[in-house]
């Protein structure tokens, strides 16, 4: 039996996509369907992914459910923040995670030696713009929801040292760096380990009340620390296990990218590649993956890159160009799609934006950095009050007035549109802000960055 992945109230009708929605199979015996019956409708799609061979693919995400997409934007019937809104849930996780966190800290220490070495591996993007739009002031509370190696947080402290800075990251390696920084700034830094969907509970536990934060920063995507560590499995240029989990040490049963490519059928893989990677050759690549895994399991990053490359003529491997007109590998979008899917990044982003909105005080600043169109589209629609499920025609794509009629079977449609009202945010800069040419030359990895900033009304 298949049910939705993200704890959302699913639409009573089939998705409008020609292909079925992306599904993770979850065994009914592991889920108390009686407790979910009041909040989840069983989707009538009967087609199952019978080839899910890994038991932990069925165990993990029992609170997470599949969602369908329209024009690259996911259907959001209910606020997913309800999954992790309980402080008690966080308390229950805390003790059990300490051991895994300490192991990740040991790995971090063995890899880097100290946080000064680690921070050099990741160059923060658009630091001056972030500080200008965030505008930290004396005595303020600032929330950095994506600490990473701490580049932006350090810049905030350099601008104004007398602030309370709550720094969050789901990656235990980043959390270890944050803890070390908190030793240098014990009065300023409060380090938090968790996902966006856990942020509300952790902030409440730390004594932060809704409507009391002066500024929130989100610097999305994958950090250089993750990309440059082969053991993490994010990069196709360095061979390593095909992992891609940002917090796999905390959740060892969480499916890896290897589990996904070895377990899902061709149609599901193609849908993932097309939806999360915007890959136009999704069917061709998915077919190559399925053929290859029938001979041997796909377990390494460069193994997958070679399989994807093998589906194309040699001349086509580097025909794609980045914003600097440099050749990019044909498998780049495949790796992006798998990473986003494995880490549930888009849904986490939406939860993060809702959490930021909840904890910001009126007049508080939100600064969001994104690195691909899917992230930027969600941020743009959220700040402009557009329903993320709304399908816009090309002639109307830039309009920002939400149309209640397009809301998908919400029980309280008025409440949803009131929470996404365009009157709740004032854009600091009307258009998206991109890095200066000199910064792109100095830090090519930041070439695709897009910054949006707004003030909560």
Question: Cβ(73)–Cβ(377) under 8 Å?
Answer: yes
Query: What would the pLDDT profile of 433-445 be if each residue is shown by its tens digit?
Result: 999 988 888 888 8
- Whether residue 169 contacts residue 193, with contact meaning beta carbons closer than 8 Å, is answered with yes
Does residue 413 lie in a domain region? no
Give pLDDT, residue 297. Answer: 97
Predicted confidence (pLDDT) per residue in 332-387, tens digit: 999 999 999 999 999 999 999 999 999 999 999 999 999 999 999 999 999 998 87
Same domain, 179 and 255: no
| Domain boundaries, position 201 | 127-223+346-385+421-456
Are 329 and 352 part of one and the same domain?
Answer: no
Is position 137 within any domain?
yes
pLDDT at 321: 64
Q: Is 232 contained in some domain?
A: no
pTM comes to: 0.73
Do 313 and 366 lie in one domain? The reply is no
418 pLDDT band, cuts 50/70/90, is very low
* 329 shares a domain with 361: no
Contacts of 186 (CB under 8 A, 6+ apart): none
Nearest 5°: phi and psi at 365?
A: -105, 135
Same domain? For 367 and 278 the reply is no
- Please tell me which of 56-60, 208-212, 396-400 the model is most confident about, judged by mean pLDDT: 208-212
Same domain, 216 and 132: yes
Mean pLDDT on 49-72: 36
When pLDDT is cut at 50, 70 and 90, the band that residue 405 belongs to is very low
Q: Please state, in angstroms and rounded to a whole number, the distance separating the CA atoms of residues 360 and 455.
A: 9
> pLDDT tier at 226 (50, 70, 90 boundaries)?
confident
Q: Are 242 and 308 in contact (CB under 8 A)?
A: no
Is 319's pLDDT higher than 90? no
What digits encode the pLDDT tens for the residues 201-214?
999 999 999 999 99
> What is the average per-residue pLDDT within 78-103?
37
Among the three residues 309, 337, 365, which one is the final residue of a domain in this structure?
Answer: 337
Rounded mean pLDDT, 318-337: 78
Residue 290, domain member (yes or no) = yes
> Would you say 214 and 140 are in contact if contact means Cβ atoms under 8 Å apart?
yes
Last residue of a domain, one of 305, 337, 369: 337
Is residue 230 one of the residues assigned to a domain? no
What is the pLDDT at residue 325?
Answer: 63
DSSP 172-241: HHHHHHHHHHHHHSTTTEEEEES-HHHHHHHHHHTTPPTT-EEEEEEE-S--HHHHT-GGG---SSS--B
- Using DSSP's 3-state secondary structure scheme, residue 267 falls into helix
- 319 and 378: one domain? no
Number of separate domains in the chain: 2
Nearest-10 crossing angle of helices 266-277, 332-342: 100
Who contacts 397 (Cβ-Cβ below 8 Å, separation ≥6)?
A: none
**How sure is the predictor about 95, in pLDDT bands with cuts at 50, 70 and 90?**
very low
Report the pLDDT value the prediction gives residue 210, as an integer from 0 to 100.
Answer: 98
369 and 328 in one domain? no
Q: Which two tokens stand for residue 82?
A: 């309800």
Domain assignment of residue 11, yes or no = no
Q: How far apart are CA 358 and CA 379, in angstroms?
A: 15
How far from chain centre, in Å, is Cα 252? 18
Burial category of 230 from C-beta neighbours within 10 Å (exposed 0-12, middle 13-18, buried 19 and up): middle
Q: What is the pLDDT of residues 4-44, one digit of tens each?
A: 333 323 222 222 222 333 333 322 222 232 332 232 232 32
Confidence at residue 2, expressed as pLDDT on a 0 to 100 scale: 32
pLDDT for position 61: 35
Q: What percent of the chain has pLDDT over 90?
A: 52
Range name among 56-60, 113-117, 357-361, 379-383 with the lowest pLDDT average = 56-60
Residue-wise pLDDT tens digits, 424-433? 999 998 889 9
**127 in Cβ contact with 155 (< 8 Å):** yes
The domain that holds 434 is classified in CATH as: 3.40.50.150
Does 209 share its domain with 273?
Answer: no
Would the pLDDT of 122 be above 70? no
- Stronger pLDDT, 301 or 33, i.e. the higher one: 301
Residue 76 lies in a domain: no
Confidence band, pLDDT 50/70/90 cuts, at residue 267: very high
CATH number assigned to the domain comprising residue 299: 1.10.150.170
| Any domain includes 119 | no
Residue 388 has pLDDT above 90, yes or no: no
Is 274 in the same domain as 300?
yes
Q: Are 368 and 218 in contact (CB under 8 A)?
A: yes
How sure is the predictor about 101, in pLDDT bands with cuts at 50, 70 and 90? very low
């Amino acid at each position: 039996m298949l049910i939705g992945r993200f704890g959302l109230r699913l639409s009573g009708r089939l998705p409008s996509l020609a292909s079925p929605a992306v599904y993770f199979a979850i065994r009914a015996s592991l889920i108390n369907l009686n407790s979910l019956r009041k909040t989840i409708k069983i989707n009538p799609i009967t087609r199952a992914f019978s080839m899910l061979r890994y038991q932990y693919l069925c165990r993990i995400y029992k609170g997470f459910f599949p969602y369908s997409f329209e024009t690259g934007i996911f259907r959001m019937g209910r606020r997913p923040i309800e999954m992790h809104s309980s402080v008690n849930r966080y308390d229950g996780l805390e003790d059990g995670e300490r051991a895994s966190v300490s192991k990740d800290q040991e790995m971090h220490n063995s890899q880097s030696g100290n946080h000064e070495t680690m921070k050099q591996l990741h160059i923060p993007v658009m630091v001056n713009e972030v500080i200008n739009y965030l505008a930290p002031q004396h005595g303020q509370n600032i929330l950095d929801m994506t600490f990473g190696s701490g580049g932006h947080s350090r810049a905030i402290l350099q601008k104004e040292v007398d602030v309370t800075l709550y720094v969050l990251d789901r990656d235990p390696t980043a959390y270890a760096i944050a803890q070390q920084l908190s030793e240098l700034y014990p009065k300023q830094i409060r380090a938090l380990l968790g996902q966006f969907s856990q942020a509300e509970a952790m902030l409440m536990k730390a004594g932060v009340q809704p409507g009391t934060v002066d500024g929130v920063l989100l610097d999305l995507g994958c950090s250089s620390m993750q990309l440059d560590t082969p053991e993490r499995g994010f990069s196709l240029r360095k061979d390593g296990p095909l992992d891609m989990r940002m917090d796999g040490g905390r959740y060892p049963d969480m499916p890896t990218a290897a589990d996904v490519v070895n377990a899902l059928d061709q149609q599901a893989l193609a849908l993932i590649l097309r939806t999360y990677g915007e890959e136009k050759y999704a069917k061709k690549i998915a077919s190559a993956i399925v053929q290859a895994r029938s001979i041997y399991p796909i377990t390494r990053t460069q193994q997958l890159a070679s399989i994807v490359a093998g589906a194309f003529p040699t001349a086509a491997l580097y025909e794609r160009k980045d914003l600097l007109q440099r050749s990019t590998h044909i498998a780049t979008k495949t790796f992006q799609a798998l990473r986003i899917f494995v880490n549930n990044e888009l849904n986490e982003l939406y939860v993060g934006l809702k959490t930021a909105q909840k904890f910001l005080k009126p007049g508080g600043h939100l600064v969001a950095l994104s690195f691909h169109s899917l992230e930027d589209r969600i941020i743009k629609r959220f700040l402009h009050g557009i329903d993320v499920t709304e399908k816009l025609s090309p002639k109307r794509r830039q309009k920002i007035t939400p149309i209640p009629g397009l809301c998908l079977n919400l029980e309280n449609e008025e409440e949803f549109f009131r929470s996404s009202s365009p009157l709740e945010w004032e854009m600091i800069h009307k258009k998206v802000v991109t890095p200066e040419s000199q910064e792109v030359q100095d830090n090519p990895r930041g070439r695709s960055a897009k910054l949006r900033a707004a003030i909560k009304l």
